[in-house]
Amino acid sequence: MALPTEAEIIEALRTVQEPESGKDLITLNMVSGLVIKDGNVGFSLEVHPDKGAEMEPVRRAATNAVSEINGVASVTAVLTAHRAASQNKTGASSKAQPQKTVQSTKQSVAGVKNIIAVASGKGGVGKSTVAINLALAFNTIGLKTALLDADIYGPSQPRMMGLAGEKPSGGDGDKLKPIEKYGLKLMSMGFLVEEETPMIWRGPMVMSALQQFLRDVEWGDCDIMIVDMPPGTGDAQLTLAQQVPLAGAVIVSTPQDIALIDARKGLNMFHKVEIPVLGIIENMSYFLCPNCNHQADIFGHGGARAEAEKLSVPFLGEIPLHMQIRETSDGGAPVVVSDPASVNSEIFLSIASKVWALLEDDAANTRPPPSIVIEK
């Protein structure tokens, strides 16, 4: 079957009107972050932050219009309000967002276009689970993706990817080859030390291990690299945040107050080193019963969304506490690859599309060119 083209998708979106103006989505320049891979289509619709609910029928109409194109296997359309949020960055109410500055001491990683940190203020909130599913979701929407597991205190990505016990092989010269699975390039401290081995990491050790992973691995061309950060906001995290040329950070939190306080600390840490926070994700947001699909807000769902609003940081999405998410990650095939059509996968795909739209927006508007530092 023929695969859908960008032109066909744009034509389909021209048939969908925004009700207030009566104009179509393309004329209004509302579509961004369009990605097409093997018939899977993803895009964002940019809307005013106050109009999210009103625009839901438009999102559905856009999804239906694109679904009807021959060869389209799935459509992920998300509403984003980031233009308004990024305007806040320079506006009077922007106390939470730093101005972007050239990170002159950081060396970019050859071939890698965007590096994003996935961080959390404390452990156990599902940061690594979110990082891997998000990375796989980026890959699903057609972006070449790598994951660097820098969670030195408990590198869990090899286990979640079914790669425990694997060792990376040497590439050209002294470089290591990342291990590839499900289309993702992966490098982890866990390939070098056992997950259970307690490690005491001091600043310089963290630095040199990380430098090696960034510089001495054959990453090749990647649109996105996700860095699964160690949990917390101590020295090691600060050092990582300072050393990696990050395009931005995503903070994972659970809805409980205590986790949100920790999340705020995470946010402040990135502000300190002038890295934009792309948004907050609420994990274990509500309990979804695997038998009857009943939703129970056991942790007081919605805390992260409220916190994000207060801090003028985009809210990226809510992930339920769901048996499928735990079982698939623990089984070595995260939900985004083992059950790509599930509601849980759709949530990760939608968050990935939002993050990609934010990055594209940043690239178009404000990001300075990477600086090149020659080390003596």
Binding stretches for ligand ADP (CB under 6 A)? 120, 123-129, 156, 231, 283-284, 319, 321-322, 325-326, 329-330
Contact 139, 145 (CB under 8 A): yes
Nearest residue relative to ligand ADP (C-beta) = 126
For residue 158, the number of C-alpha atoms closer than 13 Å in the C-beta half-sphere is 23
HSE-CB of 295 using CA atoms within 13 angstroms: 9
**Nearer to ligand ADP (CB atom), residue 82 or residue 264:** 264
Q: How far is the CB of 363 from ligand ADP (least distance, A)?
A: 28
Closer to ligand ADP by Cβ: residue 36 or 284: 284
Residue 127 or 144 having the CB closest to ligand ADP: 127
Please return the burial class of 178, using the count of CB atoms within 10 Å of its CB with bins 0-12, 13-18 and 19+. buried
Angle subtended by helix axes 127-140 and 323-330, to nearest 10: 80
- Smallest gap from residue 281 Cβ to ligand ADP (A): 10
Instruction: Report the residue number, 349 or 357, with the smaller CB distance to ligand ADP.
Output: 349
Q: How many CB atoms lie within 10 A of CB 50?
A: 9
What the block records as the tokens of 330 is 């623990």
Q: Which is nearer to ligand ADP, 9 or 119 (CB)?
A: 119
Q: Which parts of the chain are beta strand (E)?
A: 31-37, 40-46, 74-80, 112-119, 145-149, 179-181, 184-188, 222-228, 248-253, 277-282, 287-288, 295-296, 315-318
Q: Report how far apart the first and last C-alpha atoms of the chain are (Å, whole number).
A: 55
Are 153 and 189 contacting, i.e. CB atoms less than 8 angstroms apart? no
Q: Give the span between the Cα atoms of 248 and 275, in whole angstroms.
A: 6
Asked if residue 184 lies in contact with residue 220, where contact means CB atoms within 8 angstroms, the answer is no
